Amino acid sequence: MSIGSVIIWLGTVGLTLYASFRTREPAREKSAQWLIVAGGIVFPTVLLAGLLSYGLSMLPDMLAPAPPDSMRILVRGEQWWWRVRYLAADGHPVDLANEICLPVGTPVEFQLESPDVIHSFWIPALGGKVDMIPGRQTRLRLEPTRIGEFRGVCAEYCGTSHALMGFPVLVLEKEDFARWLKRQAEPAHESTEPLAARGKHSFLASGCGACHTVRGTPADGVVGPDLTHVGSRRTLGAGLLANELDDYVHWLAHADTLKPDVHMPAFGMLPPPELRALAVYLESLQ
């Protein structure tokens, strides 16, 4: 298509230059008609029909069911983050958020949903983008062929913080991936550090558990991202901040200004030592 469009572009520019500089006399009616019919009607019709049938011929491949050994991952676009659920073969789903790990050389099928507005799921380095449409499930199949860290984004304007919903995608060796998924499936690993324990107390006392789940604790909310292993993730706030202590404090105190219109309220009213303890607790959830 690129080569074809360059040839057509050169032809068009050539004709324009020819018409502008070479011919001083008006074209004969006959040849003008011929040019319009051939170049303006027949040529584009044949060319576009060819491209259309080529595009349609690829469709059955894209709509066919995923190979049986595919990994299935359910992703929901939220306001403005990503709910991620690994649909394991043994029937026990693994919930996480805002980060996706994939085993290299394994076909993956993403099942894409949205509860309210249209988002578009896109990992430019790995595959095409597919809209997440409320009321239906769309699918994206891909197979990562090289190890590395990539970035996924939302590619459909979905509201104020549309540009602030990114997610890292890590393609790992199969063994590393299996280890990672096993760990993600486990309940939270509690830290024995006093400050983390104080943070946990504050987390539960401040009502964070009404929106967030930390498996293995009374926190079982499903409004916001699952935080069971939030400390192990590359980023905080869906690709917004690094996963560092200071970033947790910053996020907790100013979530509403860092990500306008986010559902998460800011907890700037908490005294700084308590914010610090909360940050230590969250970062300890590896």
Binding mask 27-66 for ligand CUA (x = CB under 6 A): ----------------------------------------
167 in Cβ contact with 98 (< 8 Å) = yes
Binding mask 81-120 for ligand CUA (x = CB under 6 A): --------------------------------------x-
State the Cα angle at 286 between 104 and 280, rounded to 5°: 145
- Tokens 């085993």, residue? 103
Of 117-146, which residues contact ligand CUA (CB under 6 A)?
119
Cβ proximity to ligand CUA, 82 vs 248, nearer residue: 82
* Residue 77 touching ligand CUA (CB under 6 A): yes
Cβ proximity to ligand CUA, 109 vs 156, nearer residue: 156
Cβ proximity to ligand CUA, 111 vs 232, nearer residue: 111
Cβ proximity to ligand CUA, 119 vs 200, nearer residue: 119
φ, ψ dihedrals at 34, nearest 5°: -60, -45
Sign of torsion, CA 230 231 232 236?
A: positive
Binding mask 145-184 for ligand CUA (x = CB under 6 A): ---------x-xxx---x--x-------------------
113 in Cβ contact with 85 (< 8 Å) = no
111 in Cβ contact with 117 (< 8 Å) = no
CB of 121 to ligand CUA, least distance (A): 9
The size of the interface with ligand CUA (CB under 6 A), counted in residues, is 9
- What is the binding site for ligand CUA (CB under 6 A)? 77, 80, 119, 154, 156-158, 162, 165
